[in-house]
Amino acid sequence: MEDNQNIEEQNILPKMDRELLAEMEQSMEDDFKREYQQEDVTSILDSIEYIRIYCRNFPLFNGDDYQPLQAPFAYYRSRSTYLKEVPFTEDEFYNFTLIQEAINKLGLLPQPTFEFIVFLYHIIKVWSESQITTGIDKVNSILSLLEEQPNTKLKMNIKVGGKNFEFENSLFIYSMLEFYSSHEQISHYLVERENKRIRERTIQYSLVKTLLDYLPIKTDKSEGISFVQAERDFALCTLYLCKLLMGDPAYVCTKDNNATFDKLMRDFKDFNITLHQMLT
């Protein structure tokens, strides 16, 4: 018991000093201004403001203390490379009337919104390419969710050839998972590949949910309303631009396709987005 307590105490991170973080970020900004003093630095900084807002939520812990992320400034320095990765051009973004209307309704500015989408697309690309899921990772992820939701009813399907076996005894399923997790197995380290469709939807969710969570959206919501129509339109338009949603934009990017957005949010409501772990 005492050993566990000591481990917990060692894992306690120091309290963030927000004023110090702001001073350190200002120092980074001053260095950036000196680097680009021959250009319109004010406009450049305005263009990456939404990226900076996002990154302020995830200061880097260096082992002793926190420091602000260099990511927003590093993004601009490598912007031309980032732009080559996205499947749409800046002109296509500005000429896409539906997304511009949604951005306006949400009280956002087009340029920093564009830069934030490009920034996130790069992170998601790197993240999706680096994902390796093992059997033990999957099982421990399920057990972690069960700790948070202990009364959740479980169901497990096992397919052997053409026969399906279904288990609905939650205690039995939990016991199997717990035993597997706590006993060393060779299969712990075998790679489990996600279904292509599931991975694509995970990417879709990670992109639009991060945008909706961290953009400085200005909108009045009635009690019980999770997303207004403009947020849905913006998310669907972003997926369309990123070639993650196909079809006629007049249909797939409007209220006619709300069901696609709502189902995506429902299916991944318990999914933990970890994109920020790719930032430095």
- What's the confidence (pLDDT) of residue 13? 56
| pLDDT of the residue at 279 | 80
CA atoms within 13 A on the CB side of 278: 16
Residue 245: the pLDDT is 94
In DSSP terms, which residues pair with 262 in a beta bridge? none
What pLDDT, on a 0 to 100 scale, did the predictor assign at position 142?
A: 82
Query: What's the pLDDT at 254?
Result: 96
DSSP character for 186? G
* Cα dihedral value 24, 30, 31, 33, nearest 10: 150
pLDDT at position 227: 94
Question: Sign of torsion, CA 123 126 127 128?
Answer: positive
> Do 209 and 203 contact (CB within 8 A), yes or no?
no
Please tell me what DSSP assigns to residue 185: -
Between the CA of residue 166 and those of 136, 170, 172, what are the distances in Å? Answer: 22, 12, 12
DSSP assignments along 108-171, one per residue: --HHHHHHHHHHHHHHHHHHHHH--EEHHHHHHHHHHHHHHSTT----EEEEETTEEEEE--HH
Q: What are the 10-residue block averages of pLDDT along the chain, 280 residues in total? A: 42 72 90 91 96 91 79 94 95 98 97 97 81 75 80 85 85 88 78 69 93 93 87 98 95 96 92 80
Output the CA angle 55-239-126, nearest 5 degrees.
50
Instruction: Tell me the pTM.
Output: 0.75
**What confidence score (pLDDT) does residue 195 get?**
61
